[in-house]
Amino acid sequence: MSTAPAPTGDAPRPAAPWNRRHLLGLEELSAEEITAILDTADSFAEVSDRPRKKVPALQGKVVFNLFFENSTRTRTSFSLAAKRLSADVQDFTASTSSLSKGESFIDTARNIEAMGCDVMIVRHSISGAPKLLAQHVRSSVINAGDGAHEHPTQGLLDLLTIRRKKGSIAGLTVGLVGDIAHSRVARSNIWGLKKLGAKVILCGPPTLVPRGFERLGCEVAHHLDDVLPRLDVINVLRIQFERQQKGLFPSVSEYFHFYGMTRERLGRSRPDLLLLAPGPINRGVELTPEVADGPNSAILDQVTNGLAVRMAVLYLVSGLPQARNPVA
């Protein structure tokens, strides 16, 4: 098994052996590998508090953001993470690329790789697109969200936030509430939480939380008020209107009535309930403003932790010798 090389300058050492060139999902990772990423992220977290927010760990490396879907937080977070590691960063915009002239997804990536790209960060509307790309390029590939499949760095930052707030993940009961059926965030959370020893309850309308998820070892519930008192953590997921067919629930107001996190529901929860919500949040749909901004909320902590997680992932996947540069 290989380990990432000792970083230069004042970058932290990797917390455990890491022998992967890509991060495509949490399903394929072991609990030890997930923990290694979280531990490395903990080491990088303090970099953002320094007067000079930069370490030379990836100096000379070239990172490309290949986003085929819109993104604000994830794309910005990856760009900033790469820059804090001293990498050169280039953004790719599909709408203004040669894809509009008929060039294939793979050919576009190979041309980018020919310019010296070391790491490709890929978001795509089609599940499996990052895995397909990883089979055709020598660069490292990081999945930044593929269809309804996975969003591994979002899952990792949620895990890091829980661990930092609760001390440990093992033994916690975590509720994922909302549009589970269409959510790549839910799938990454499920894999990560289960592997680290948490009990996972999925809650939402039957049309958005089908019983088939029980095969993943999760409890499925359709009444939030019944399970809320049991939860140590609740992760309120956004309704994926852009991926849904119409008619999956009668109305937004009815959804909010049964599943929205309100001050009243918070009052019936455990006092130390930790509330998470991957952005963008829809105030008045999944939760009320006073809940989103209240003392139980760790929404902005998730954003901060996301930067540390993405620094860790970039650092770890860049640490192995690449086929095109075996002496790296």
Residues placed in the known binding site for carbamoyl phosphate: 73-74, 123, 151, 154, 279-280
Rg (alpha carbons) of the chain, rounded to whole number: 20
**Which residues are annotated as part of the binding site for L-aspartate?**
101, 184, 238
- Closest Cα partner for 14 from 60, 78, 57, 59? 57
Interatomic CA distance for residues 75 and 84, integer angstroms:
14
Contacts with 316 (C-beta within 8 Å, 6 or more apart), sequence order:
4, 14, 18, 20, 23, 36, 37, 40
Interatomic CA distance for residues 197 and 181, integer angstroms:
23
Contacts with 186 (C-beta within 8 Å, 6 or more apart), sequence order:
176, 178, 179, 180, 202, 237
- Name the strand (E) or helix (H) holding 178: none
Contacts with 116 (C-beta within 8 Å, 6 or more apart), sequence order:
62
**Which residues are annotated as part of the binding site?**
73-74, 101, 123, 151, 154, 184, 238, 279-280
Interatomic CA distance for residues 11 and 45, integer angstroms:
11
